[in-house]
Amino acid sequence: MKAMVFAAGLGTRLKPFTDHHPKALAEVCGHPMLGIVIERLKRYGVDEIVVNVHHFADQIIDYLHKNDNFGITIHISDEREFLLDTGGGILHARHWLDGDESFIVHNADILTDFDIDGMVMKSKSNDAMATLLVAERSTKRYLLFDKSDMRMRGWTNIDTGELRPGNLGSIENLDLLAFGGVHVVSPQIFPYLEAFAATIPVQAESVIPKFSIMDFYISLCHQLRFYGYIPASPYSWHDIGKPSSLQAAEEGFNEISL
């Protein structure tokens, strides 16, 4: 199975660490997050991973080399010249991820131990274009899902009242859930990603435009089968994207099975 790990971000919330290091190498109890995520994906049968790089890219490349790519095939999707965001990043890595089998997308700053196999199986049974890890967690921005089958219907900012897509209407009968930074994606998504990207201006001489995969999901959820997934069993989840949450992850580190 294939996967992509997002490791290119600037990590501005994690300053001052990210003034000199990539966020993906932030450590939880002495273990760099990138290594934790890779080892976890390996346990679920992933044997080929794409890691995108931009901010302090050489440090990530050196880290992977020093660890012999963790005994699997790892490709570097180089975004040093242009940071492409999550949607552009996936499209840029298409030649490695395309094929007949769904792939996992995992943020490098998410520390979690939920059962990925269950998510992959649910995505397959739904014939989903993408399945997103979600939870009932307090935030300002929520994804919206049908209560009956967890199909994605849109997005809202509860502070501003903004709803997307614009023709969504009432959300009274929808569940408001927070995204957890892990998705299972079908390679059938790529033609739609290409068409969506064609509507976005490119930056300078970049061939692929910078865009968020979440913007793509929100814009196309009325047309394509995107679903939310809530694990059946309790699990741990930490976003280590800022110092306070990194500290919380360290305090809960024993809950995570490495």
Q: From first to last of its 258 residues, what are the pLDDT tens digits of the chain?
A: 999 999 999 988 889 988 999 999 999 988 999 999 999 999 999 999 999 999 999 999 999 999 999 999 999 999 999 999 999 999 999 999 999 999 999 999 999 999 999 999 999 999 999 999 999 999 999 999 999 999 999 999 999 989 998 777 778 889 999 999 999 999 999 999 999 999 998 876 678 999 999 999 999 999 999 999 999 999 999 998 878 788 888 877 666 555
Helix 213-220 / helix 190-197 crossing angle, nearest 10 deg: 100
For the chain, list the domains and their CATH numbers: 2-255 (3.90.550.10)
Tokens of 83: 């940071």
Please report the pLDDT score of residue 256 as a whole number. 57
Please report the pLDDT score of residue 247 as a whole number. 81
Place of tokens 């865009």: 211
Element (H, E) at 58: helix 57-66
- Output phi, psi for 121, to 5 deg: -65, -40
Please report the pLDDT score of residue 168 as a whole number. 78
Please report the pLDDT score of residue 249 as a whole number. 81
Alpha-carbon distances, residue 77 vs 60, 85, 89, 98, 149 (angstroms): 12, 12, 8, 14, 35
Please report the pLDDT score of residue 207 as a whole number. 81
**Strands, DSSP E only, in the chain?**
2-6, 27-28, 31-32, 48-53, 73-78, 103-107, 110-112, 130-135, 141-146, 152-157, 162-164, 174-185, 226-229, 237-239
Answer for the pair 213, 87: CB distance below 8 angstroms, yes or no.
yes
Answer for the pair 151, 227: CB distance below 8 angstroms, yes or no.
yes
